[in-house]
Amino acid sequence: MADKEFNGVINLDVRDSVPDWSPYELPTAKEGAPNVLVVLYDDTGMATWSPYGGRVNMPTLQRLADNGLTYTQWHTTALCSPTRSCLLTGRNHTTNRVASIMEGTNGFPGQAGQIPEECATVGHILQDNGYSTFWLGKNHNVPEEDNSAGASRKQWPLQQGFDRFYGFLGGETNNWYPDLAEDNHYIDQPYTPEEGYHLSKDLADRAIKMLRDQNASNPSKPWYMWFCPGANHAPHHAPQEYIDKYKGAFDDGYDAYREWVLARMIERGILPEGTELNPWNPVAEDQANPADHVTPWDELGEDEKRLFARMAEVFAGFSEYTDAQVGRIIDYLEETGQLENTIVFYCADNGASGEGSDAGSVNENKFFNNYPDDLAENLAMLDQLGSPETYNHYPTGWAAAFSTPFQMFKRYSQYSGGTCDPLVIHWPAGIQAKGEVRHQYHHVTDIVPTILELASLEMPEVYRGVEQEPLPGVSMAYSFDSADAPTLKKRQYYCMLGTRGIWQDGWKAAATHAPLTGKGHFDQDRWELYHVDEDRSESKNLAEQYPEKVQELVAAWFEEAEKYHGLPLDDRSALEMITVERPQAEPPRDRYVYYPGSGAVPEGVAVNVRGRSYKIIADVDISDGAEGVIFAHGSRFGGHALFLQDGKLHYVYNFLGIPPEQTFVSEPLTPGPHALGMEFIREGAGPHKESVGTTNLYVDDQVVASGEMRAQIGKFTLCGDGLCVGFDSADAVSRSYRAPFTFTGGKILGVAVDVSDESYLDLETEALAALARD
């Protein structure tokens, strides 16, 4: 927008001049413009929550639904980063270059992970037109290589149109020990779980503080707040009293739950009479992903039933506890007279998550390492589920059940099990209807057009000198007071991890390809056809009856994919996708040198020791009683650490949190300068592609311990618990000490991590000389 012309009078003397402030005044929002609160949960199928008939009690959401609108055909992209990019810009995810999660990007126009300048954000537009803008909780739209202290901030929230940010940048985080950032920098969590910390509570505290500050200084200025808790993404963490609320609630199992919840959904008008359930494992065997298999409840053993029921209890407690924290925000808005003119969108970003495998998991990171879960190991942690001791996730059976009545779950963009999600809209000042249901077909790209219409704004054709991509969505405002209004949306394409589908005028075509299979051969995909207007559960494949309709919709999919950069398709495994080599601000090298006094280095930019031999060499000068962490990377759910304890050097490799820890220990050390380190010599791959080999522990030039070891080829964490020197951040790698276990009783000059093929002894002198020079 060009500056207004100055219309004052300028003379030599200010006393003879006339000012004109109009070119310099900041824009203000229209009189009576609504506040906007978007509450975005993760990984939640439509059959989960109580307003939709589900068994997970959500008092705050129910309160909003009773005084607002419940939408039954609101859709997402089937995955978190892509959906969040749509909520951020209003464009399709591949237009935003976010075809997958930020850890799965590759070098193609729709998949590069950098939201382009052609896609201005809703934050920017509202901020430029008199709104305050706040973002709490999950981000997952910062490229992995930019998730570090020294990286570009271009894609961070404050550069995307937000005045304030408090939360985490990655795809998930430990709710007891989160990886936190505030505005443009990283911070430590403010207090510990023993002192009552939980991420959901902390986020609500911060949200209320931001709103309280706003109300104190600029009470007439409207605001936009995006509140994104870690729930319901794994790890499922909750206070024990909320877990205990659901004791026995899921003992009937996920088969029974599907039958029970479908009847309630029909009774509440969420689904029409006659809606049918889909069978377990509906994808044909030649196309299915074995990791997404569901074992029917009656085929499980008693131990499995007990474990799986408990996992659902923990998940439910996590969800309700977080809803209670959202309730504190709603209560604050009501107490301050702001709730009446605040439009609340309460929703989820994709279907229920199947990343816990058929067996459930006490450590979801196994999924990203292609490593199977073990029933005995999981059972041993039964009473610890939901606590800091676990990184738990329920099995695929619950993912399918919480996505009733649809096929499949998260990641499956061709089926509503992955894309049809809960959405409640509450706005007393602008919506007359109370407690009603809306069935119009909508998509996440429709939220930004809705917000802009209610704020009396438009997405500009040119923003900051850049021609903008048009908004493909439609405003949902027409549906607010008209239950019978026809759907204004005409077409929506879907594309995710090799899956694809398209909805058009009440019909849907779905390719049978499953995600993350590595099967390829997309030209051989079979296409199914569903008349969604008549068959909400997509249970009747009409492809053979209407082949012309299939051809019409497949052609429409390719038209949309061409327009929105939907190709190429990528169905590689999660491990293959997250370990792709991507451009880095720092050139790759064989040796990384780290020094004490810096914060944790995020895994995306830290030295990569996965799937290879490596050496760690620390130059230290110790006195009697020296102890603490020299080097640590990861957490109790996967990582490794070099530390002094009881006068001895220890190296621990914690392989995916599976006990026992692999431990190598020296004899007591003498005071004085030492080169302390280890080397792992990779000799091959285990049955699940994990590295296997030999580890040697060194004190100076002597091997003081040696033995077999296995190491991860996938990441230690999807986000958080980075590489540390002189301390261990957040959750400790080894159970033999408590974080931060800061190094004391001496000095760490530096730590070198080497991934070259040179031997430890050849490197020792050179590495110590380099550390001494630096």
Q: What is the pTM (predicted TM-score) of this model?
A: 0.94
How many CB atoms are located within 10 Å of the residue 621 CB?
Answer: 13
Q: Cα–Cα distance between 716 and 696 in angstroms, integer?
A: 21
Tell me the pLDDT band of 721, cut-offs 50, 70 and 90: confident
State the average pLDDT for the chain.
95
Residue 762 has pLDDT above 80, yes or no: no
Which segment of 293-297, 393-397, 546-550, 714-718 scores lowest on mean pLDDT? 714-718
What integer pLDDT is reported at residue 4 of this predicted model?
87
Residue 296 has pLDDT above 60, yes or no: yes
What integer pLDDT is reported at residue 774 of this predicted model?
52
Average pLDDT value for residue range 286-306? 95
Which segment of 473-477, 520-524, 763-767 scores lowest on mean pLDDT? 763-767
Nearest C-alpha neighbor of 179 from the set 599, 584, 725: 599
DSSP codes, 307-368: HHHHHHHHHHHHHHHHHHHHHHHHHHHHHTT-GGGEEEEEEESSS---TT-TT-BSBGGGGG
Q: How many residues does the chain have?
A: 774
Nearest C-alpha neighbor of 602 from the set 158, 84, 173: 173
What integer pLDDT is reported at residue 766 of this predicted model?
65
Pairing of strands 702-711, 223-228: unpaired
Pairing of strands 442-443, 69-75: parallel
Q: Cα–Cα distance between 313 and 19 in angstroms, integer?
A: 66
Q: Cα–Cα distance between 341 and 363 in angstroms, integer?
A: 43
Angle at 359 (CA atoms; ends 653, 54), nearest 5 degrees: 125
Provide the Cα torsion 417, 420, 421, 427; round to 10°. -170
What integer pLDDT is reported at residue 371 of this predicted model?
87
Angle at 446 (CA atoms; ends 444, 449), nearest 5 degrees: 135
* Residue 33 to residues 134, 221, 475, 708, Cα–Cα distance (Å): 17, 9, 16, 66
Nearest C-alpha neighbor of 499 from the set 511, 487, 509: 511
Which segment of 1-10, 162-171, 456-465 scores lowest on mean pLDDT? 1-10
79 Cβ neighbours under 8 A, 6+ residues apart: 100, 101, 349, 350, 410, 411, 413, 496, 497
Nearest C-alpha neighbor of 677 from the set 630, 737, 616: 616
Angle at 290 (CA atoms; ends 285, 292), nearest 5 degrees: 110
Place of tokens 């007591």: 668
Helix locations, 218-301, DSSP H = 240-244, 253-267
Nearest C-alpha neighbor of 528 from the set 546, 555, 505, 504: 546
Which segment of 196-210, 525-539, 583-597, 649-663 scores lowest on mean pLDDT? 583-597
Find residue 658's DSSP bridge partners: none
- The answer to whether the beta carbons of residues 344 and 425 sit under 8 Å apart is yes
405 Cβ neighbours under 8 A, 6+ residues apart: 47, 258, 262, 265, 271, 275, 276, 277, 278, 536, 537, 539
Residue 3 has pLDDT above 80, yes or no: no
Residue 600 has pLDDT above 80, yes or no: yes
Amino acid at 224: Y
Q: What burial class does residue 581 get, using C-beta atoms within 10 Å of its C-beta: 0-12 exposed, 13-18 middle, 19+ buried?
A: exposed
Give just the sign of the alpha carbon dihedral 292, 54, 167, 729. Answer: negative
496-510: pLDDT as tens digits = 999 999 999 999 999
What integer pLDDT is reported at residue 724 of this predicted model?
96
613-671: pLDDT as tens digits = 999 999 999 999 999 999 999 999 999 999 999 999 999 999 999 999 999 999 999 99
Average pLDDT value for residue range 465-478? 98
Which segment of 49-53, 163-167, 719-723 scores lowest on mean pLDDT? 719-723
411 Cβ neighbours under 8 A, 6+ residues apart: 78, 79, 350, 354, 418, 496, 497, 499, 515, 516
Q: Cα–Cα distance between 399 and 404 in angstroms, integer?
A: 9
Nearest C-alpha neighbor of 323 from the set 425, 144, 201, 173: 201
Token pair for residue 88? Answer: 């951020």
Cα-atom radius of gyration of the chain, to the nearest Å?
A: 27
Helix %, strand %, coil % of the chain (to 5):
25, 25, 50
What is the rounded end-to-end Cα distance, in angstroms, of the chain? 50
215-262: pLDDT as tens digits = 999 999 999 999 999 999 999 999 999 999 999 999 999 999 999 999
